[in-house]
Amino acid sequence: MAVQLSATDREIINGDHGRAAADALGLVLKFAEAVGAERLLPCASSHVDGCLYHGQASLDFVERFVALEGRVKVPTTLSVGSVDLIHPELFIGDAALGAAGKRLMEAHIELGCTPSFTCAPYQTLLRPRLGDQLAWAESNAIVFANSVIGARTNRYGDFIDLACALTGRVPDYGLHRSENRRARAVVEMSGLTGAGADEAGGIAVAAGLVVGRECGDTIAAITGLPDCTSEDDLKALGAAAASSGSVAMFHAVGLTPEAPDLETATGGEDAPVVIRLEQQDISGILASLSTVTDGTPLTAVALGTPHFSLTEFDRLMPMLDLAPFAVPIYVNTGRHEWERLNADGRAQRLEDAGVTVVVDTCTYVTSIIRDLSGAVMTNSGKWAYYAPGNLGIDVAFGTLADTVLSAKAGRVVRA
């Protein structure tokens, strides 16, 4: 079925908004036909995941639109690239790949994109609003936008995300439509509502891993999460779910905007309980993220995947009193947070404690960690899930307190 074109669509495809926009809309329309969308919608913003260099094709695609003098039509943030442009000395990979990665990031800026270079654009000043139609890529950002904010986006990937940004148009299908946003499965958590703040983070990661593994791309309603579950915990939940499965959205009953109760989350329809989790189940799931045992020597600690928020830095700062550390600590964060850390003096304190703050990229996708000869510890379910395959290393997973204590000891210990 052909996509119905609005007056704006016809203007763009006829070249009234420039050759770049016309070419980009041609791609959006082909995509819309492939997914069965009958029309296009105006999108409020885009988040582009194509800044991470995967080969010449990724650069050629963007350079073409630069040559056509293209400009994004909506606020467009950029996900992580291959290098830290603010601290280029941190990159220890192949120089040619680093140069190509740097050019790819710069080319997106030339198209008018905001140089955010963060996997957590929802932590910036350009945070979407409830109900906004988006063209977002990057798996955890997609889940967060749909679930925690209540904005609307499908899982857009490289190329189509930028094409939507260059046109301000997005296909009307999938999670852009209310009827497709209802929960069709239930994950029950029991005996966890009284858990403390430090425990809540681990519970969220475990819940995310289970949702990804058991539900795939089916939207799940999660009941029984601790009352103290924070936005950062929900961020971790979504990141883990998107890593272990094709998750684009979840409902945390009583916590996320489209799930004040289970009936609302399911649209009043019956949804099967796919799994029930208690405390002992949580412990086993989290233990499965570690490929080494307690007491194993470490060569580094990696935090901030997705990028550390200012609230997470607030939790980390008092723990710096344990410095000096036996192994280096790397923290990934966004430029928005980095600017605030510099402005209030925390960046200097982190440096004095031997903590390396990485912006614009992430330590599991690019060559930054100096010593990977041993195990690395993290409090990130996403980092723990991907790093063994991406970096070929052993990983220990723990709470934030666990990781800092382990950095002090130089081996895996638990708070």
Question: Is-contact 285 212, C-beta < 8 A?
Answer: no
pLDDT score for 1: 66
Q: Could you give the domains of the chain?
A: 7-178 (3.30.499), 182-287 (no CATH), 298-409 (3.30.499.10)
CA-to-CA distance for 54 and 81, rounded, in angstroms? 10
Average pLDDT of span 265-270: 97
- pTM given for the model: 0.97
Looking at residue 195, what is its pLDDT?
79
pLDDT for res 192: 87
Average pLDDT in the 343-372 region? 97
- With b meaning 16 or more CB within 10 Å and e meaning fewer, what string describes 84-101? bbebeebbeeeeebbebb
Q: What are the tens digits of pLDDT across the range 134-156?
A: 999 999 999 999 999 999 999 99
Report the C-alpha dihedral over residues 280, 283, 288, 294, rounded to 10 degrees. Answer: -130
- Confidence band for 64, pLDDT divided at 50, 70 and 90: very high
Interval 42-53 mean pLDDT: 97
Is residue 88 a contact partner of residue 359, using CB atoms and an 8 Å limit? no
Distances (CA, A) of 383 to 184, 250, 301, 362, 414: 28, 20, 11, 9, 19
Of 315, 360, 363, 317, give the one whose Cα is nearest residue 339.
360
pLDDT tens digit sequence for 273-293: 999 999 999 999 999 999 999
Burial class for 407, CB neighbours closer than 10 Å (0-12, 13-18, 19+) = buried
186 and 218 Cβ atoms separated by less than 8 Å: no
Amino acid at 375: A
Least Cα distance to 45 among 164, 178, 139 occurs for 164
Across the chain, what does the average pLDDT equal?
Answer: 97
Question: Of 386, 232, 379, whose CA–CA distance to 311 is shortest?
Answer: 232
pLDDT digits (tens, 9 = 90+) for 166-180: 999 999 999 999 999
Q: With 90 as the cut, is the pLDDT of residue 196 above it?
A: no
Output the CA angle 203-204-205, nearest 5 degrees: 90
Q: Taking the alpha carbons of 282, 185, 130, 48 in that order, is the dihedral positive or negative?
A: positive
- Note if the bond before 75 is cis, omega within 30 degrees: no
Report the DSSP beta bridge partners of residue 42. Answer: 169
Alpha helices by DSSP H, listed for 47-186, are: 56-67, 95-110, 139-144, 160-167
pLDDT of residue 197: 79
> For 160-166, what is the mean pLDDT?
98
pLDDT computed for residue 198 by the predictor: 80
User: At residue 194, does pLDDT exceed 80?
Assistant: no
pLDDT class for 415, splitting at 50, 70, 90?
confident
Answer for the pair 262, 323: CB distance below 8 angstroms, yes or no: no
Q: In 3-state terms, what secondary structure has residue 392?
A: coil
Instruction: Report the pLDDT value the prediction gives residue 391, as an integer from 0 to 100.
Output: 96
Please, which residues have CB within 8 angstroms of residue 411's CB and are 6 or more apart in sequence? 295, 296, 297, 298
pLDDT in tens, 282-337: 999 999 999 999 999 999 999 999 999 999 999 999 999 999 999 999 999 999 99
262 Cβ contact list (under 8 Å, min separation 6): 183, 186, 221, 223, 253
Amino acid at 43: C
- The sign of the dihedral angle between the CA atoms of 209, 210, 214, 216 is negative
What integer is the mean pLDDT of 346-354? 98
